[in-house]
Amino acid sequence: MNDQISLSPIQPKVELMSGWRRTALIIVLFMVSAFSQIDRILPFILAESIKADLHLSDTQLGLITGIAFAVIYSLASLPLARLADRGASKQVLVWCILIWSVMTSLGGLAAGFVTMAISRFGVALGEAGGTPAAHAMIAKNFPEHHRGRAIGIFSMGIPLGTMIGFAAGGWASDHIGWRVALFVASGIGLLLVVLVMTFAGKTGILPQHSSNSTGNIFTTGRELLAKPAFLWMFIGANFLGFAAAPFYSFTAPFLIRTHGLTASQVGLSFGLLQGLMGIIGTVVGGRLFDRAVNRGANRLLHPPALLFGVAGITTVAGLLAPEGWMAITLFVPGMLAFAFLLPFAFSAGHLIAGPGKQALSSSLLMIASGLLGPALSPLLVGMISDAVGVIKGVNGLRWGMMVIPVASIFSSIAIFIASKQVGSLMSGKRGIERVQTPGNN
């Protein structure tokens, strides 16, 4: 049946890395995650400088940070994820780092809207395979009962990269310019290639007869989406994308325009808080997920679902707050919720997908959170801002960003439903395992 986790009576023996090599691997993957996020986040904190220099509108800014990145990032992740599942995770990751680093550098040479958009397409192409390839490495080298923690550590690079990107990008915007900032970020990315080549271990293409790694990519994807548990996670991730993309794209311009903060002040306050909440969210989320799996909990996704509901309410209050420090404080639950969900969603996706399909499940969730939402919601926020802003005395961006809390509430609802479905699957899996245990027949 489509809504059951398939179990094979005989699972292939997996040779895991030794302890110290696993530690080195997860540190390197964490660094890859962090620096890829820096390359991704820099245009957000540099948005006002880029807008002024290239003479862009808010709508064009939304296109650059939305469609120009989201479409390629999401769709390219599918074939790259399949390559990673089939054993080429190291090669995929190395080439992805090279591509996104070079294209970040080319962004520093942009002369207008078109050239900047092309640069973001290139960065998206490179970064599309980074997370699926890293998840494939984690699935191959970490035991299942530690996988949530490993994914949490890897995901911690996202908030840390966001924190560094906002802080360093804000300083760069005020002191050395946005072009130099992009050049420096691209140079650091090239150093990661050496680290991945050194510590990622050996990978090779899996045999063609492996039932877990072959099959049409779209057929396998449809099989995953036919499972209600995965489908509701996919829906929740879509709403997450509608909330997260404008949150990161427009919070800095909102704080600068509405409360008179400088780019440096936004980078230090919002950026540092975002990084801190993200680190807490990913690490604690990973540990709580492993603990819930080990004790046989049936409602694995209830914690992030509840947090998203709270974040929707506080974000509304933050957008209406009269002071900058109040707005930033009220944005904290949203910062925490986005990070807290990552290890829960990816780890649950791996459990549903099974061996040899983990990278593909990660890719599908990335498409859900990274395609429609990031492609449309920054554009929608920009259009609302431009339309409402023509009314004298009205803060158009404030009302445009109300898209964020609305999407957060819908994401919370979908994740609650997914949690119930995942719990049913886990109960069924444990029942099958008891039947297959010698002595129970």
Residue-wise pLDDT for 386-412, tens only, equals: 888 777 667 888 899 999 999 999 999
Give the separation between CA 334 and CA 247, rounded to whole angstroms.
9
**Superfamily (CATH H level) for 19-204+214-436:** MFS general substrate transporter like domains (1.20.1250.20)
107 contact partners, CB below 8 Å, separation of at least 6: 43, 116, 119, 120, 123, 182
pLDDT at 128: 85
pTM flag (> 0.85)? no
pLDDT at 330: 94
Distance of CA 69 to the CA centre of its chain: 13
Give the separation between CA 51 and CA 169, rounded to whole angstroms.
15
In this structure, which amino acid lies at residue 17? Answer: M
In this structure, which amino acid lies at residue 53? Answer: D
pLDDT at 426: 64
**Do the Cβ atoms of 195 and 310 come closer than 8 Å?**
no
In this structure, which amino acid lies at residue 152? Answer: G
Q: Where are the domains of the chain?
A: 19-204+214-436
Given a cut of 50, the residues of the chain with pLDDT beneath it are: 1-14, 204-214, 431-437, 441
Structure tokens at 361: 């499940």
**DSSP code, position 18:** P
Question: For 354-402, where are the alpha helices, taking DSSP H only?
Answer: 358-370, 372-388, 396-400
DSSP sequence for 53-116: HHT--HHHHHHHHTHHHHHHHHHHHHHHHHHIIIIIHHHHHHHHHHHHHHHHHHHTT--SHHHH
